[in-house]
Structure 1
Amino acid sequence: MDPIGKKLLDVAQKQLGYTEHGSGYTKFGDWYAQHIDGDHDSYFKTAPWCDMFLAWAADKAGVAEQAGQFASTVDHAKWFKDHGAWGHTPEPGALVFYDWSGSGDIDQIDHVGIVEKVDGHTLHTIEGNADGYKLMRKTRSMDDVVGFGYPGKIQVTEAKYSPKHAAPATTVDKVGAPAATTHSHEEQHSGSGGQQLPAQDVVLGGILAFVLCGTVALAAGRAAAAKAPTTPPIRVRKRGKHHRPSTPVALPADVTPADLDAADAGTTVMPALSLAAANEAEDREFWGRIAHLEEDNELAFWNSLHAEATESEAGPAVGPAAGSEAGPGAGSAADEYATTPGFR
């Protein structure tokens, strides 16, 4: 008989006759929802409970790591197979998985129970949710069996053993101090009286020296780290005439430094050119303003001709005509403007 399965059977036999409530509620599904399902889904309280019964029994028997705790029969069977605890030989204490269609396919498993006794080709089992509502004994043939899971073959990974008599690590402040006597498990039963061999003294001395050197190196590293600046120095790059490219700009092939100097010297003629342009503009403005005087001069000329013609018909004039005075006066003014230096 499977030794772990035997513990499951002991728990299961005490639950024979348990019947689900009319709503489908079972204490096994309620327990599963509270303790196994991470979401505490109330669905499991009324769900099919053949496998949840085995999860509950494994918990009560203290063999959950070997028997597994599932609500899905397919996942449970695959778990046994992945752990090398799957087979096709019936054995008391083994979990038996069924497919009612007889396909033998692990993905088609419908039901699970635990084998109580094997009688040739007949199995005597204890099953939850048997006949759809009860925990009871059943007699089955091998025809619908897909396989068996053997809880006793599951290898449980134990926590790494740490002997309680091991001494704590030596601290820096105790380096060089007499080491406290620590006896191993073997020494306590060897009758040696706690005497250490010379080789052990050498090893202990080497370990202490290594610890001391490491402590000194760590202290030196921390001191150097404390002196190092936490942030790099800030470098400000200023703008100005001193900010020039590291590589001089190359001149075009047809331009020489002499051409640049000549161009710089040539800029001195610009004020003279600007003054000439200003004078020309002033001249244009001036002559524009006195243009009407020239028209008056011509008008005075025609007026004088008219006056002479009138005098010849009427006789000598008593005095100069008003127009004759205006004519010469206007002409003289125009001549004066015309001969003024700087305007012609």
Structure 2
Amino acid sequence: MTVTPESVIKIAKGEVGTHEGYSNGHWNNDQKYSKETPTLGWSNYQAWCATFVSWVAYKAGAANLFPCTASCLTGVSWFKQRGRFSEYPAVGAQVFYGSGGGSHTGLVVAFDANTITTVEGNTNTTGAPKGTAFICGLVSAVTRTCTATDTPITRAALCPLTRSGVPPRPAALRPLPPRPRPSLATR
């Protein structure tokens, strides 16, 4: 099976509308993603946005291209250690939100200079990482408006499926920092 960004996204989109468990009048973080992802069974009844991304990668045959974790911060660290981290989104990439990327995560399905569209686990239809009293613990397709100065979207891992390793970058987003000039000693 060939893994492409589209095959990863297809699996994620197939889960839109899936809810976590509900008991005694409360949403309870009981969901299938922890149970069906090797090594993450322990994470059931915990926040599960990162677990959802790990499950999608596993089901798509891309488990070696994404971190298998229930932690957003561990996911950020995993991509950084492999030199696969960027401030720019890419279709099929994992995106991280919040301070240092530790608050929430999802998968990028589309983006332009002003918006990013994702499929996220453990969210609601408005894209809040924690549900409301009405809709909670849902896999949802979310479009967020963003600009170069916005902070809710702090980082996006480079799409591990991008052949060139460099995602497209809308012109309206801030430019990459200049490369350091070599010193005279190295010329």
TM-score of the aligned structures, taking structure 1 as reference length: 0.38
CA distance in 1, matches of 2:58, 2:75: 15
Q: Percent identity?
A: 28
CA 1:47–1:145 in structure 2 vs 1: closer, same or farther (change >3 Å)? same
**Does structure 2 retain, via aligned residues, the 8 Å contact 1:4–1:66?**
no
Higher gyration radius (CA):
1
> Residue 54 of structure 1: SS of its match in structure 2?
helix
Query: How well do the aligned residues superpose, as a CA RMSD in angstroms?
Result: 1.9
- 1:137 maps to 2:132: no
Structure 2 counterparts to residues 127-206 of structure 1, below 5 A: 127-131=120-124, 132=131, 133-142=137-146, 143=150, 144-150=152-158, 151-152=160-161
Amino acid corresponding to residue 145 of structure 1 in structure 2: I
CA distance in 2, matches of 1:4, 1:74: 25
> Residue 12 of structure 2: SS of its match in structure 1?
helix
The structure whose residues are more often helix, as a share, is: 1
1:121 is displaced (CA, Å) by: 1.6
CA distance in 2, matches of 1:9, 1:71: 19
Corresponding residue of 1:47: 46
CA distance in 2, matches of 1:71, 1:24: 12
- 1:70 maps to 2:69: yes
1:153 is displaced (CA, Å) by: 5.8
> Residue 120 of structure 1: SS of its match in structure 2?
coil
Residue number among 122, 125, 128 corresponding to 2:115 in the alignment: 122
Corresponding residue of 1:36: 39
Corresponding residue of 2:29: 24
TM-score of the aligned structures, taking structure 2 as reference length: 0.69
Amino acid corresponding to residue 161 of structure 2 in structure 1: G
CA 1:4–1:70 in structure 2 vs 1: closer, same or farther (change >3 Å)? farther
- 1:160-203 CA-partner distances (Å, limit 9, x unpaired): xxxxxxxxxxxxxxxxxxxxxxxxxxxxxxxxxxxxxxxxxxxx
**Does structure 2 retain, via aligned residues, the 8 Å contact 1:115–1:125?**
yes
> Residue 161 of structure 2: SS of its match in structure 1?
helix
1:118 is displaced (CA, Å) by: 0.8
Give runs of ≥4 in structure 1 deviating > 6 Å. none
> Residue 135 of structure 1: SS of its match in structure 2?
strand
Structure 2 counterparts to residues 94-109 of structure 1, below 5 A: 94-99=93-98, 105-106=99-100, 109=102
CA 1:67–1:4 in structure 2 vs 1: closer, same or farther (change >3 Å)? farther
Structure 2 counterparts to residues 72-91 of structure 1, below 5 A: 72-91=71-90
**Does structure 2 retain, via aligned residues, the 8 Å contact 1:85–1:153?**
no
Structure 1 segments unaligned to the other structure (5+ residues): 100-104, 155-344
Amino acid corresponding to residue 82 of structure 1 in structure 2: Q
